[in-house]
Amino acid sequence: MYERAHITGTFTLRSGATSNEYFDKYLLEADPVLLRDICGELAGLVPAGIDALAGLEMGAIPVATMLSQLTGMPARFVRKKAKEYGTAKLAEGGVLAGQRLCVVEDVVTSGGQIVESCDALRAERAEIVRVVCVIDRESGGRENLAAAGLDLHALFTMTELKAAAG
């Protein structure tokens, strides 16, 4: 994973922070074998008793889709904000109200978008049981999610990936 998706340069992250390294998750998600292998491992972090997986727009959609295939759990595809036309839904794929969800993300940095999305899901009367991600960049995301009452489980931390590549 590290060799496939780790790139260096100067990058502005969603949080506004600047980084000299970047993990290009789309390089992982575009590789069908690697995506299946990653999600095969990630499936072990999905808790029992949930009603659906909730993949966050846009990067986690391929992960949630593959994870749905491997676990048999239905998926919801969660927008950053409800669309302003047509059905005006926050999420596609089924109902949210009363659903116990496992939120799926690809890479967590500050966790800001996850917190916003989970707040929106909770406003739709969904219960967030757990948040799972492929990579925790260890940049405050876990702590920010915990402060919002969200339980993060990462398949890998950036430290682990660097050590494995090392």
H or E segment and range at residue 64: helix 60-71
The reported pLDDT for the residue numbered 124 is 96
Please write the tens of the pLDDT for every residue from 32-64.
Answer: 999 999 999 999 999 999 999 999 999 899 999
The reported pLDDT for the residue numbered 140 is 95
pLDDT exceeds 90 at position 19? no
* Average pLDDT of the residues in 19-26: 87
The reported pLDDT for the residue numbered 6 is 87
* Average pLDDT of the residues in 8-28: 86
pLDDT exceeds 80 at position 166? no
* Alpha carbon distance 42, 38 (integer Å): 6
Torsion of CA 150, 76, 52, 26, to 10 degrees: -70
Please write the tens of the pLDDT for every residue from 67-125.
Answer: 999 999 999 999 998 888 888 899 999 999 999 999 999 999 999 999 999 999 999 99
The reported pLDDT for the residue numbered 30 is 93
* Alpha carbon distance 126, 60 (integer Å): 19
Please work out, in degrees rounded to the nearest 5, the angle formed at the alpha carbon of residue 71 by the alpha carbons of 42 and 31. 55
pLDDT exceeds 90 at position 25? no
* Alpha carbon distance 166, 162 (integer Å): 6
The reported pLDDT for the residue numbered 3 is 87
* Alpha carbon distance 101, 50 (integer Å): 6
Contact 80, 105 (CB under 8 A): no
